[in-house]
Amino acid sequence: MLCKLIAESQGDMLKKLIEAQERSQQQLLETLTANFNKGLEEVLSRQNKSGDDEKSEDEAVAEKKPKSDAAEKDDDNIVDEYEILYDAAYEGDWRKASEFLKDCPEAVEKTITYDNETALHIAIMMKRWSFVQKLVERMTPEALEIKDSEDSTALHAAALYGNKDVAKAIASKNPKLTQMRDKFERVPLETAIVHFGDGQKDTVEYLYSVTTHERNGPFSGAYGADLLCSAIESIYYDLALSLVKRFPKLVSEPTEGTNGLCGFEKLIDRPFAFKSGAELSWWQRFIYSLIHVDISSPNDDNDTEEDDDTSSGNSEGTAKDEDIDLV
């Protein structure tokens, strides 16, 4: 009898989780559809004007792949005078680093590889998190803006490897970093969205809460469209829903290029995301229903699309405290 009651209780919980997931996804579809109707003619016109010389989506995706996560040491890439500091960052040996920095304190803000990486870039790549925190404390806000050969700042690296605490330490010291783009035109928030790891959901949550809405910023125009499509592609449906509620025009806003997609087009290309288009076993649906994080909702009163290109009063607008389940 006890086993039966436990099974029934687990069954009810599973049913509620699945229903909550489906409601979130369906609400996103309904919101996108309602806003998309306003821009339908633009989308159809854009599709008719697609040029033959435009890169295919597969080519664009291939071009946007970041450098390998492989952490093999490349001796030929190290600037000779900083080899000791490089080794310390690579190994996470703070004692070795502090000894070197006593004689050469400026090295903490120098690029120590021919790929323009700082010791901070190296330590983040190697996930030497305690070492990283100590380096951030010693660096000036300006030094944190140094970009590597792929135009990635240390905040991009923290976003890629999914460390919320490091991202917070860096962004708190220099908030401008949330607006800086790498060679793929991604701000750190989008970098966090398109990569996967143990700490990714927390990092996405944090970066979304501190990334401000600014003129020509990450929530504007083609940049915003790309961010929305990335959120949908990475199954952050509640983040996508939050974005279209704040900036309704993003639904029909195309990503860059004549073959660019808008958020609505991206979503209808993913019928498997919805109950009517997915044939999942019970255990697949159970796992899928658990893919969510809590995120602060945006300040809808002060942070709307109408302010996107005409007002600077909301340039500092960020998320306010209210929980959202981010799928």
pLDDT in tens, 13-49: 545 555 555 666 666 666 766 665 555 555 555 555 5
pTM over 0.85: no
Q: Which of 90-99, 221-230, 255-264, 298-307 has the highest mean pLDDT?
A: 90-99
Number of independent structural domains in the chain: 2
| Residue 127: partners with Cβ closer than 8 Å, 6 or more residues away | 161, 163
Residue-range definition of the domain harbouring residue 224: 16-65+220-327
Residues 308 and 227 in one domain: yes
Structure tokens at 310: 């005409």
Beta strands in the chain (DSSP E): 293-298, 319-326
Judged against a pLDDT cut of 70, whether residue 60 lies above it is answered with: no
* 157 burial via Cβ count (<10 Å: 0-12, 13-18, 19+): buried
Among 96, 123, 152, the domain boundary falls at 152
Q: In 3D, which of 143, 154, 149, 144 has the Cα closest to residue 77?
A: 149
Q: What is the mean pLDDT of residues 310-323?
A: 43
Residues 48 and 23 in one domain: yes
Residues 50 and 114 in one domain: no
Among 120, 152, 184, the domain boundary falls at 152
CB atoms within 10 A of CB 51: 8
Q: Does 191 map to a domain? A: no
Alpha-carbon distance values, 318 to 57, 209, 304 (Å): 32, 6, 11
* 167 burial via Cβ count (<10 Å: 0-12, 13-18, 19+): buried
- Contact at 8 Å (CB) between 78 and 112? yes
Residues 88 and 60 in one domain: no
Q: What is the mean pLDDT of residues 258-285?
A: 62
Q: What is the mean pLDDT of residues 163-186?
A: 97
- Domain CATH code at residue 97: 1.25.40.20
Q: What is the mean pLDDT of residues 308-312?
A: 40
Q: Does 214 map to a domain? A: no
What pLDDT does residue 238 have? 83
Strand partners, 295: 324
Structure tokens at 323: 């929980």
Residues 88 and 125 in one domain: yes
Mean pLDDT of the chain: 77
Q: In 3D, which of 278, 319, 294 has the Cα closest to residue 238?
A: 294
Residues 53 and 73 in one domain: no
Q: Which residue has the higher pLDDT, 19 or 193?
A: 193
Residues 261 and 318 in one domain: yes
d(CA 150, CA 134): 24
pLDDT in tens, 195-221: 987 889 999 999 999 999 998 899 999
Residues 46 and 80 in one domain: no
Among 104, 126, 152, the domain boundary falls at 152
Q: Does 297 map to a domain? A: yes
Tell me how far apart the terminal alpha carbons of the chain are, to the nearest angstrom.
35
- Contact at 8 Å (CB) between 324 and 294? yes
Q: Does 182 map to a domain? A: no
Residues 36 and 72 in one domain: no
Hey, is 321 helix, strand or coil?
A: strand
